[in-house]
Amino acid sequence: MSGEKIEQKKRKVEFFLNAPQASEVILLGDFNEWNGKKHSLKKGKLGTWEGILMLPPGTYEYKYLVDGHWWEKTSNHHNRINSFGTYNNLITVDE
């Protein structure tokens, strides 16, 4: 199998954040190289911000940027301390 690349099937991953007072929520993580221009979430009727990504299997660190301020999702008990002394959320996408 020299030179043959096996492509991993991507999975649909839904992200939600309850922030009814926010005017903008951006999802950043190592899946988008922490680029704030790639994944703006959409606000639902009840103030929950939502987004869907297609991700290959693996473990990813992510965080929300809410109106210019970093937010950790406190309901996610899977997290890792980052180089700034705060926490990033973790999500694992199964194969």
Mean pLDDT of the chain: 88
- Give the domain range for residue 56: 11-93
CA 64/CA 3 separation, integer angstroms: 38
33 assigned to some structural domain: yes
Q: Please give the tally of structural domains in the chain.
A: 1
Determine the pLDDT at residue 44.
92
2 assigned to some structural domain: no
CATH of the domain at 24: 2.60.40.10
30 assigned to some structural domain: yes
5 assigned to some structural domain: no
- Read off the pLDDT of residues 69-92 as tens digits, 9 standing for 90 and up: 998 776 667 888 888 888 899 999
Residues 6+ apart with CB under 8 A from 25: 17, 19, 40, 41, 43, 49, 64, 65, 66, 67
